[in-house]
Amino acid sequence: MELKILNIGILTWLTFLPVLGMIIVLLLPKEQKSAIRWTSLFSTLVQVIFAFLLFAKFDRSLGGVNSAATMQFNELFNWINIKSSSWFGIIKIDYYLGVDGISMPMVFLTAIISCIAVISSWNIEKSIKGYFALLLLLDTGMMGVFVSLDFFLFYIFWEVMLLPMYFLIGVWGGPRREYAAIKFFLYTLLGSVLLLLAMLALYFSVSVIDPVTGTKIHTFNMIAMMNPANFDAGSLLAGASTYWRYVAYVAIFIGFAIKVPIFPFHTWLPDAHVEAPTAISVILAGVLLKMGTYGLMRVAFPIFPDAAMYFLYPLAFLGFVNIIYGAFCAMAQKDFKKLIAYSSVSHMGIVILGMAAMNTQGMVGAMLQMFNHGTITAMLFLIVGVIYDRAHTRGLDDFGGLMNKMPGYSGVMVIAFFAAIGLPGLSGFISEAFSFLGAFQTFRWLTIASAFGIVLTAGYMLWTLQRVFLGTLPEKWNGLTDINARELTMLVPLAIIVIALGVYPNLMLDVMNTSANTLVDFVKGSVGLAVGN
Amino acid sequence: MNTEIILQNLSLIAPELIVVATLCVVLLAHLVARKNTQLMMLLSVTGLLNALYLLTGNIHVTVSAFSGMLSIDPFATFFKIVIVLATIAVVLMSRFSDEINAEHTTIGEYYFLVLSMCVGMMFMVGSSNLIMMYLTLELAGLTSYVASGFTRKAKDSSEASLKYLLYGAFSSGVMLYGMSLIYGLTGTLDIAGINRVLMQGSANGWALIAASIFLIVGFGYKISAVPFHYWTPDVYEGAPVTITAFLSVASKAAGFAMMMRAFKVMFIDSSVTNLPAGTWALIHGVHVQQVIVVISVMTMTLGNLVALWQDNVKRLLAYSSIAQAGYMLLGLVVLSNDGFAAVMVYFVVYLFMNLGSFYVVMLISNKIKSEHIDSYRGLGKRTPLLSVALAIFLISLTGLPPTAGFIGKWMIFLSLINAKMVLIAVIGVINSVISLYYYVRVIRNMFLRDENEFSGTITFSLPQQILLLSLLVPTLYLGLFFNNLVAFAQYSVKMVGF
Amino acid sequence: MNLYEIIFYAFAVVTVGSACVVVFSKNIIYSAFALLFTFFGVAGLYVLLNADFLAVTQLLIYVGGILVLLLFGVMLTSNVVSINVKSGSLHILAAVIAVALLAGSLSGIIVMTDWFVTKSTGEITLQTTSKEIGTALISTHVLPFEIASVILLVAVVGAAMMARRERSKTNV
Amino acid sequence: MEITLTHFLLISAVLFSLGVFAVITRRNAIMVLMGIELILNSANINFLAFSRYGGMNIEGQMAAIFVIILAAAEAAVALAIVLNIYKRFNTVNVDEISILKD
Amino acid sequence: MTPHLIIALAVLLLPLVSFIFLIFFGKRLTKISGHIGTTFLGIDLLLAIYLFFAKLYDTAASWDFTFSWIDFHTTLNNIPLKLDIGIMVDNLTAAMLVVVTTVSALVHLFSLAYMKDDVRYSRYYSFLGLFTFSMLGIVLTNNYFMMYAFWELVGVSSYLLIGHWYEKKSAADAGKKAFIVNRVGDFGFLVGIMIVWMQFSTTTFSGIFGAIGGGKIPFGSDTWLTIAGLLIFCGAVGKSAQFPLHVWLPDAMEGPTPVSALIHAATMVAAGVYLVARTFPILTADALVIIAYTGAITAFIAATIAIVQNDIKKILAYSTISQLGYMVMGLGVGAFTSGVFHLVTHAAFKAGLFLGSGSVIYAMHNALHHVNDHHTDAQDVRSMGGLKKKMPITFWTMLMFTLAISGVPLTSGFLSKDEILAGTLSFAHFTGHSAIPFIGFFVAGLTAFYMFRMLILTFFGDHHDAHRAEHLHESPWVMTVPLIVFAVLSFFAWYSFNPIGAKDGWFYAKITTPHVVVPEHIAATPTEEFLEEVHHQHNLTMLISVGVAGFGILMAFVIYYWKKISADALEKALKSVHTFLYRKWYFDELYDATVVAGTIGLAKVLAWFDAKIIDGIVNGAGSITKITSVISGKFDTYVVDGLVNFTAYFAGLFGLIFRKIQTGKVQTYILFAVVGMMVFVVLFGM
């Protein structure tokens, strides 16, 4: 599967378009505010178009995951090639991009969310030039993570995304922004250095025949790492179910868990969300969190199937904890954003649970839940942003009766809220249902316990709904105006996606399905032990 | 050893001779044209560029010159190039440094000192005889003592020079005593010869260890490794920024080169053959490896932890450079050519990012007359270019991609993992996470915090910005395209006899 | 107890004794003069180690040069007429412990180690080494020799620069 | 009793220790320098002793020569620096010269 | 795609169309929107009726249209893993369709007047459409997955309709309560679905029944089959307001009265019963017993509470719960057809009752409005009375409904109720659970009593405020017509021409007990034997039921009409009992004290835990930092600065110690260096 534009692969386009935009933005004088805004918007819009193109051309029947042949839109160039000493062997790093059913939806999501983030940043005034430059850089980082198949490249993008995020929270954030920003930075870095070590260990354990020279060389190629045959005998991570393999898996897992975030590494999330400006919260919840789970699917599971199976139950248990714990914490919040932040923790727990099920429904459910949570939570944060822009408070108890005052706003809000609750006909329902259905087959009681989360979710969501939108309007908010066109333009597309996927989930499912099967079969197959509860 | 051999050998040290010649010329120029500071700068730069050119000619040479006193080999040449580059950068930096220009009456001596430091270091990296090591070390040392006290009117500068002097003289004295012991054990001062004698296994363990530790005292002081680092923060803070920058890069590099050569050549056990290619073992009973492991862990940890508390950016960078030395030492403990190569790569990137950050600090203190971290508030607004540059340098020092600093660390950890030293690697990465915090404190003050009232933008001249960019661009470029750098480093681990 | 030994012990006592005075005396002037005797004693030991040339060099440079410099230093940094030539000392205890440990282990090492010695010790005929040193300086050790010269140059310039009275009165 | 290598080494060891002691304890900078000179001398004694008992190999003596030269150079620079310090601080007591610290 | 499928789909989708149309254009259309919605439903009703007859005179057992919705391209237990959805029409469905559409249509009509000057008139109608759509979905689907989906949708639409007047906190609360309580039931339902999906990798009824019929039972254990059945029944418990989840229904009366008539009398609450009926084939004997008792207990509790309520709608609400309990009990004992039959009849007369009460409230409201009385509660029966003369149509229809619900002969209620009671007796005969029939009859008596109490208090006697009485008058035709229709529908003749034998009617002929697929040894009494026994018990049942009903009615008249016994006296005499019942057995208080308070409390605790402990452990924030401030005053500011990472906290501490070494005295440095050197020498020397 090839798709080139101006003889440059589409994935490269997708990844580096924002950088182009960034460069232009940097070249523009900082007085040209609207020019800067439009440039950013344009570059992200083109990105969205390309994403649609990709989505259309994507071959649903190819599995990907661990077979390079069925990866799509591949771009493989040699990037680093060092004729090194015999101890290191030839150091070869490839610029290797490609998508499969796991990454395709994420690419799509990233494009859309970034575009919407740009729109929602329209009213940023503080040093807007830097803001959009960083936003676009962040976009590239995220996109790169999802499309790169070379571990080194993956890691580079993974880290590239940190710094912009730090600044975006730290400079344009709320009162405690410094604290939130550094907390986010330290946490994620801590995770990623563990990732780095695991990556290096893998590098020296895996070697493949170099197509050029025909000699055996070490490689950062993830797909090669997934093939047990490529592990050199006697290397650190050789064999199956060895001590070091478990250690490496746990290291990688922590690296990703911090991003998800999985209890108890989640405490950065509420702070970051609350302090970050709306657009950044949207990106955080919409895309960044998915990187953790994506990483688990793309890296941790297929490369360490044995360890993955070995730690399946703990993983599921963490998922359960996330769901219930997040829900309870959300219930007690007074701050609108914090509430949604904790609801994210809860919803990502469902993803974890679905993944841990290690069967088709669970995996598909998890993937779909990743996408849906991305869209739904994005909507929720935008909704908070809309009201915050007007009222400059996020206290749940300061509001009430907005339903009458802002009908249009309330309409969108109702959709978002019920999607979050998991109402049939809206996207959230399908993914949650599948995650639970899948998980139930692997972990009976744990899933029953987790499924109780749907009741709690309904509880805090409706409570919020009531506190903010029902009841009578306090006098001080008589001045509030209804949602405006710009805000609608960013909310409506998401709403459409939410409804469309709710009614006809196949739109996404058939993209994910084959890969999900491949992944599950591969992980289970390469270990062969059946998982019970 | 007759005359023509000597002459022929002289051609091998042409670069050093050029620099020596230059420093004499500069001195004379200073006498005749005292006012014309520009001239002396240009003279020095020309000389150095010449030396650089000649060095590139020496890349493939591998000989032992002056009856084994000096080795001319890729390893030495690599470090000489680093040193000369650093010198050039520092000379140019000095041009923009207010505190240096304030001393215009003695500006000639200043360049003279910098150049003679350069010479000393260039000889250090090549010297393969203990007495040579001692002499060159002292040559570099004496000049640095004086140079760090260059701005004599400033109290702290004088104090820095005194502390540096006492500490340095003491350390080199101890080192010398260690050398004498080794001489007593082996009957020779030529490191290759020492190795030959040691290989016969006649050497007694404890004496040898004591001697090597005495040596380490000397080296450790030069590369400011814990627990021999104490002079570093004070001297770095007190000395003129340019000198600090020079010491933190060139002097460290020279020290490392000397140390690496000494340990590899003296203590390698060439009889062990069943090792992976490119790695080697040390003579049985010499615990140098463990010593260095301990030292490196202590160095990076202490450097980072204390740096957390610094409010003076210069001092903060001093501690950071201690920590950096710790990472580099990790490259030694793996006992492999690639470990060495990693150190060398690290030095190249370190050259750019560290000089860069000191340069920015200097420019800023020129304008705002302060190096306190709180005075950096709102710099992001006042001088975007510099702030962004400093941010990139610091991020690079932290070791985050896509900056060159990442590649340095990456190579180090690569060799550690390959040597299966996982625990040490973990300690290393945890340290780099800690280091993030204090580097980011500076960045935070520049961008996240505003001054109480905006005190206007700061502008810098075009040459200043060009120099900045010439340090900044490699820091970014090498982060993504390190192909040739690494290849060159791995070629350059070649030493005389290995 | 032949002459050689007598002489040795004499010098040894002189060296060590005066060194102790140097280190422990409260008065800098005393220390400085004691140092003179130390250098003499060391020179004597050199002779016993039949390094005649070095003995002479020692006397010339140390006594004639370095010691004088140090005395100058003393004079310039403390006015002798007053009794401000006393110099205190700090963290004695820690120093004593550390140094004792140092000395202990050193002597341990010295005694236990079998040093690199050609077994034909005893009577090596006393002969001058000046010639060998001379040739070495211009052949094998020519490079160190040159470097030493550079060092001296640097030292001269540096010292001059450091010590020079600045003519501009704009002191800090 | 035969005079052996050990005797010389012991003397040098004593000088070395005394030197170190002086360097650590004496407050006056010049005293510190004297201590350093002692250290250098002890090293020299070692060199010569080893050279003597190592069968008259000349290397030790060469080393000693260079050490002496260097000691001279060092002393010169040191004195200059000390004088400079005295100008700034009006004292040469090392422990009073500590504006640079954490 | 047969025409029938198309019609079925049309029936399903028309209300949805109405919903979408009105939600978008309702605002502009204002008042017309009501008529539009009603028209849609009218057409819907006609289609439904056509479908009904088409099905009834069709020989096929059911029309089943299944199509694959999601295909996972893999297998589970060697069965291709697919998610099939589809719609199925059998006689039961057809009947339900008519019921739902009829009630819905009439409620639409009724609302035209009742809601005419409501602020959110159009939204009200659009939500009615949404609700009807979801309800029809439940009825039409052929698989549990879809049913669960529509199940949730019904919950939401009811949430929206209950909270229609959300400015009132009570209304908002009621909506929330309804939704969450339902969710609790749905949670069980979901788990049940998980089990069947996991075991049979399909959720279609036919598929599951087929599998179990084929001898495959969940996890190969009888218990699990029972559990699965009961879990699915949980859904019914939630929706049909069975004990212990019945608490939401009374509160739901906060919604507009027509909504109560539609959702909380005729359709949504009946959905639970429908679910049980659908699941009937896989219910084991144990499951059925539990179901039966649940129904019985519910019926009893609700009835007792209904006696003492004064709010006309509350009374009806509790009577609804009680009747639902009846139906569930009926199904539980195995009287499948009777249960369903009662559902249908009850739908008619209970909807009628609510609309009637609606009409009364409407009248009262206007009257109160005229006399500017804003204190009197328009729904309190004690402030009514004597409405017979003022609003005759309402009265006569109401009377008809009351008779029906009390089970007086010649009414539809009589037919269905008797069958259920007969069923209970036969059940007792086979299983020995004689408590069930006992409760059954007792409740029948209570029902008659409290219904007539309500009727008497409302319509008989004189209105106790003459001034207000002048302003009372009959409601407009749009409101009375539905009443009349329902009243007509409450006659026996529609269901069976034999006034005392429902058996001879079409209903029993067409809607028969489905084939039970549960393995014999755990199955309930085989249908044939059971019905045989029912036949024997029939006459006895009739006598007793008529007796108790008559007695109940008599007592009502004695106490509230002739006032031979003073109600107040009774109340005083049985003070404690009265309060206990009046307070609805303290269920709400209990739940608030335990479940709700528990949850909120736990949430608070965990939130604190998260903020302090977790964050603390990972970050060393909070109290830990206080201790450290002793070490250095600076430290706190640093902590606030962001040095909160716990490791970094110790790091900071060590850093603090290390930097103390940096005294600035060079000789100290040298000392430390020497010490370090010696440490190495000794350490590595030994």
Using one digit for the tens of pLDDT, what is the confidence trace for B339-370? 999 999 999 999 999 999 999 999 999 988 88
Q: Which two tokens stand for residue A16?
A: 């580096």
| Chain E contact set for B174 (CB, 8 A) | 677
pLDDT band at A210 (very low <50, low <70, confident <90, very high): confident
| Chain E contact set for C105 (CB, 8 A) | 678, 681-682, 685
Kindly report the nearest CA distance between residue C148 and chain B, in angstroms. 7
What pLDDT, on the 0 to 100 scale, is given for residue A533?
35
- Given a cut of 70, is residue B55 above it in pLDDT? yes
**Which residue of C lies nearest to B189 if distances are taken between CA atoms?**
C141
Query: What residues have CB less than 8 Å from C13, skipping those under 6 apart?
Result: none
- Average confidence (pLDDT) over A288-307: 92
Name the percent of chain C lying above pLDDT 90: 41
Alpha-carbon Rg for chain C, nearest whole angstrom, is 21
- Given a cut of 80, is residue C169 above it in pLDDT? no
| Chain C contact set for D34 (CB, 8 A) | 22, 31-32, 35, 70
Query: What residues have CB less than 8 Å from B6, skipping those under 6 apart?
Result: B66, C139, C142
pLDDT band at A199 (very low <50, low <70, confident <90, very high): very high
Contact E667 C91 (CB under 8 A): yes
Q: Which two tokens stand for residue B354?
A: 């560290």
ipTM: 0.90
pLDDT higher at D55 or E251:
E251
Amino acid at E142: N
For A486, the 3-state DSSP assignment is helix
Measured over all CA atoms, what is the biggest interatomic distance in chain D, rounded to whole angstroms? 55
Per-residue DSSP letter, B61: -
For A95, the 3-state DSSP assignment is strand
- Average confidence (pLDDT) over E413-433: 87
Pairing mode, if any, of strands B63-65 and B70-72? antiparallel
| Chain B contact set for E681 (CB, 8 A) | 209-210, 213
Return d(Cα B401, Cα A93) in angstroms, integer. 15
What pLDDT, on the 0 to 100 scale, is given for residue A391?
85
Task: State the average pLDDT for chain B.
Answer: 91
Contact B251, B144 (CB under 8 A): yes
Other beta carbons within 10 Å of A176 = 14
**Which residue of A lies nearest to E599 if distances are taken between CA atoms?**
A328
Contact D58 C129 (CB under 8 A): yes
What pLDDT, on the 0 to 100 scale, is given for residue D14?
94
Contact D24 C99 (CB under 8 A): yes
| Chain A contact set for E197 (CB, 8 A) | 437
pLDDT band at B397 (very low <50, low <70, confident <90, very high): very high
Question: Per-residue pLDDT tens for E500-548?
Answer: 777 777 888 888 888 888 888 888 888 888 888 888 888 888 888 888 8
Q: Which residues pair with C120 in a beta bridge?
A: none
Q: Which two tokens stand for residue E486?
A: 């329902």
CA proximity to E123, closest of E266, E268, E256: E256
Least confidently predicted of A171-175, A370-374, E2-6, E647-651 = E647-651
What pLDDT, on the 0 to 100 scale, is given for residue A144?
94
- Given a cut of 50, is residue C170 above it in pLDDT? no
Measured over all CA atoms, what is the biggest interatomic distance in chain B, rounded to whole angstroms? 73
What pLDDT, on the 0 to 100 scale, is given for residue E649?
62
Pairing mode, if any, of strands E62-76 and E79-90? antiparallel
- Reported in sequence order, the residue ranges of A198-301 that DSSP labels E, i.e. its strands, are 207-209, 216-218
Kindly report the nearest CA distance between residue B434 and chain E, in angstroms. 7
Return d(Cα B208, Cα E113) in angstroms, integer. 108
Return d(Cα E67, Cα B388) in angstroms, integer. 61
Question: Per-residue pLDDT tens for A409-457?
Answer: 888 888 999 999 888 889 989 899 889 988 988 888 899 899 888 888 8
Chain D interface disruption, residue of B146, B158, B174, B190, most D CBs within 10 A: B158
- Given a cut of 70, is residue B202 above it in pLDDT? no
The count of C-alpha atoms lying within 13 angstroms of the C-alpha of E531, restricted to the half-sphere facing its C-beta, is: 11
**Helix extents (H) in B97-129:** 98-101, 107-126
Per-residue DSSP letter, B283: P
- Given a cut of 80, is residue E614 above it in pLDDT? no
Per-residue DSSP letter, C60: I
- Average confidence (pLDDT) over C82-104: 78
In the stretch 97-116 of chain C, residues with CB closer than 8 A to chain D read 98-99, 102-103, 106-107, 110-111, 115-116
A171 touches chain B (CB under 8 A): yes
pLDDT band at B473 (very low <50, low <70, confident <90, very high): very high
Pairing mode, if any, of strands A207-209 and A91-99? unpaired
Touching partners of E (3+ C-beta pairs < 8 Å):
A, B, C, D
What pLDDT, on the 0 to 100 scale, is given for residue B1?
56
Contact C143 B207 (CB under 8 A): no
- Given a cut of 80, is residue A528 above it in pLDDT? no
Q: Which two tokens stand for residue E460?
A: 């008989």
Question: Per-residue pLDDT tens for E566-585?
Answer: 777 777 877 887 787 777 77
- Given a cut of 90, is residue B93 above it in pLDDT? yes
Question: Per-residue pLDDT tens for B153-182?
Answer: 788 899 999 999 999 999 999 999 999 999
- Average confidence (pLDDT) over E216-232: 85
What pLDDT, on the 0 to 100 scale, is given for residue E615?
64
Return d(Cα E385, Cα E387) in angstroms, integer. 5
Contact C151 B135 (CB under 8 A): yes
B163 touches chain D (CB under 8 A): yes
CA proximity to E230, closest of E360, E346, E80, E332: E332
Query: Torsion-angle region of residue E241: left (phi > 0), alpha (psi -120 to 50) or beta?
Result: left
Chain C interface disruption, residue of E675, E679, E683, E684, most C CBs within 10 A: E675
pLDDT higher at B297 or A471:
B297
Question: Per-residue pLDDT tens for B106-115?
Answer: 888 899 999 9
Chain D interface disruption, residue of E670, E675, E681, most D CBs within 10 A: E670
Contact C155 D73 (CB under 8 A): yes
Which secondary-structure segment (H or E) carries A494? helix A485-503
Return d(Cα A23, Cα D97) in angstroms, integer. 52
* C-alpha E488 chain-centroid distance: 27
Per-residue DSSP letter, E661: H
| Residue in D23, D97, D100 nearest the CB of E670 | D23
Q: In Å, how far are A492, B108, E37 from E27, measured between CA atoms?
A: 20, 88, 14
| Residue in C91, C94, C105 nearest the CB of E681 | C105
DSSP3 helix / strand / coil % (chain D, rounded to 5): 80, 5, 20
**Helix extents (H) in E557-622:** 567-573, 575-582, 587-591, 597-609, 615-619
Least confidently predicted of A84-88, A132-136, C160-164, E273-277 = A84-88
CA proximity to E115, closest of E261, E12, E320: E261
D23 touches chain C (CB under 8 A): no
Least confidently predicted of A70-79, A367-376, E54-63 = E54-63
Task: State the average pLDDT for chain E.
Answer: 83
Question: Per-residue pLDDT tens for A23-61?
Answer: 999 999 888 889 999 999 999 999 999 999 999 999 988
| Chain B contact set for A189 (CB, 8 A) | 400, 433, 436
Q: In Å, how far are A461, A523, C72, C73, D38 from D83, measured between CA atoms?
A: 78, 76, 10, 7, 21
| Chain D contact set for E670 (CB, 8 A) | 23-24
- Average confidence (pLDDT) over B326-342: 92
Position of tokens 């007007």? Answer: A390
Question: Per-residue pLDDT tens for A266-282?
Answer: 888 888 888 899 999 99
B189 touches chain D (CB under 8 A): yes
Contact exists between C and A (3 or more beta carbon pairs < 8 Å): no
In the stretch 619-678 of chain E, residues with CB closer than 8 A to chain C read 665, 667-668, 671, 674-675, 678
For A307, the 3-state DSSP assignment is helix
Contact exists between B and D (3 or more beta carbon pairs < 8 Å): yes
Q: Which two tokens stand for residue E382?
A: 């004690």
Return d(Cα E394, Cα E510) in angstroms, integer. 34
Question: Per-residue pLDDT tens for E319-340?
Answer: 999 999 989 999 888 888 888 8
| Chain E contact set for A454 (CB, 8 A) | 183, 186-187, 190
| Residue in E72, E180, E607 nearest the CB of A360 | E72
Chain B interface disruption, residue of A23, A82, A87, most B CBs within 10 A: A87
For E108, the 3-state DSSP assignment is helix
- Average confidence (pLDDT) over A471-475: 81
Return d(Cα A337, Cα A317) in angstroms, integer. 26
- Report CA dihedral (E420, E421, E423, E427) to the nearest 10 degrees: 140
**Which residue of C lies nearest to E683 if distances are taken between CA atoms?**
C105
**Which residue of B lies nearest to D35 if distances are taken between CA atoms?**
B170
Query: What residues have CB less than 8 Å from A476, skipping those under 6 apart?
Result: none
**Which residue of D lies nearest to E670 if distances are taken between CA atoms?**
D24
pLDDT band at C121 (very low <50, low <70, confident <90, very high): low
Question: Per-residue pLDDT tens for A356-406?
Answer: 998 888 999 999 999 999 999 999 999 999 888 888 888 888 888 888 788
The DSSP-derived string for C29-90 is HHHHHHHHHHHHHHHHHHHHTT-HHHHHHIIIIIIIIIHHHHHHHHHHHS-SSSSTTB--B-
Contact A144, A157 (CB under 8 A): yes
What pLDDT, on the 0 to 100 scale, is given for residue B404?
94
Question: Per-residue pLDDT tens for E359-371?
Answer: 888 888 888 888 8
What pLDDT, on the 0 to 100 scale, is given for residue E646?
55
